[in-house]
Amino acid sequence: MSEKLTPLEQNPEGIGYLPGLAMDFVIFGFDQYQLKILLLEYRNTNLFALPGGFVRENENMNDAARRVLSERTGLSDIYLDQFYTFGDLARYDQAPLRTIMQAKGLNPTDDHWLLRRFVSVGYYALIDFRKAAPTPDPLSDNCIWYTLENLPELMLDHKAIAQKALETLRADLDRKLGGYDSWAAPLLPKAFTMGELQKLYETILGQQLRRSSFQRKMLSLDILERLEKQYSGGAHKAPYLYQFIMDK
């Protein structure tokens, strides 16, 4: 895979990239009690955006998504899922990107590749935010975590994209909890208590859950294996530990 492509801001024809196709990323960062998302900040413009990227001509789109995600977070092998593709005409607005490019000393013509109409494939990722090393892209100045309650104004339709990602993540929690590609596995120890799993759900859902009904629902999903207790020392008072069943 070529690593020698000219950066797009200096590549007005977009040579080497699929035309008209962007990706936008809603990168959820989880800490024990908080859910945050990663935003790019553009100095001297008052503009904020979701991290984004483009697909190379010789690259699978989902591989391109992993590449961009790794560039922004320093992490590979993280939970990533497509959730929606955004193709409204109303997304087509040259003004914010022109402002951003001008603040970087660039002076793009109207038909610069970056200023054309883009359809954008939305991806969401879920990571332990203490492990990430957020890194801005060539056009942005900062890459920073924001809590969902304190998001700044975002450019274009990025707020709606973030909202739809959150709705999809919340709706998919049970269905995508089990198996090798569980969203939760990278956020939990290998063996975890029901309370740790519940805390994860509560943080993502933004609401408290009842302990008994949460436990009943989790066990009914048939994806958790309860481990035998280790009767050493005072450990018999410890809560049960669970792990995900991997042969489903």
Q: What would you report as the CA-atom Rg of the chain, rounded to the nearest whole angstrom?
A: 21
Q: How far apart are CA 66 and CA 71, in angstroms?
A: 9
Asked if residue 144 binds a second copy (CB under 8 A), the reply is: no
Asked if residue 87 binds a second copy (CB under 8 A), the reply is: yes
Q: How far apart are CA 19 and CA 101, in angstroms?
A: 19
Q: Which is nearer to a second copy, 87 or 152 (CB)?
A: 87
Q: How far apart are CA 194 and CA 214, in angstroms?
A: 9
Total number of residues that touch a second copy (CB under 8 A): 25
Q: List the one residue from 95, 171, 238, 246 that touches a second copy (CB under 8 A).
A: 171
Asked if residue 198 binds a second copy (CB under 8 A), the reply is: no
Nearest distance in Å: CB 171, a second copy: 6
Asked if residue 93 binds a second copy (CB under 8 A), the reply is: no
Bridge partners of 27, per DSSP, are 125
Asked if residue 220 binds a second copy (CB under 8 A), the reply is: no
Angle between helices 194-205 and 211-220 (to 10 degrees): 100
Q: Which is nearer to a second copy, 87 or 179 (CB)?
A: 87
Q: Which is nearer to a second copy, 59 or 93 (CB)?
A: 59
Asked if residue 21 binds a second copy (CB under 8 A), the reply is: yes
Task: Specify the DSSP element, H or E, that contains 42.
Answer: strand 34-42
Q: Which is nearer to a second copy, 151 or 209 (CB)?
A: 209
What is the pattern of x (binds a second copy, CB under 8 A) and - over residues 33-72? ----------------------x-xxxxxx-x--------
* Nearest C-alpha neighbor of 182 from the set 131, 223, 229: 223
Nearest distance in Å: CB 163, a second copy: 16
Asked if residue 160 binds a second copy (CB under 8 A), the reply is: no
* Nearest C-alpha neighbor of 147 from the set 65, 34, 71: 34
Cβ atoms of 193 and 240 within 8 Å: the answer is yes
The tokens for 157 are 């339709």
Count of CB atoms within 10 A of residue 57's CB? 12
Applying CB under 8 A, the residues found at the interface with a second copy are: 18-21, 55, 57-62, 64, 82, 84-90, 117, 119, 121, 171, 175
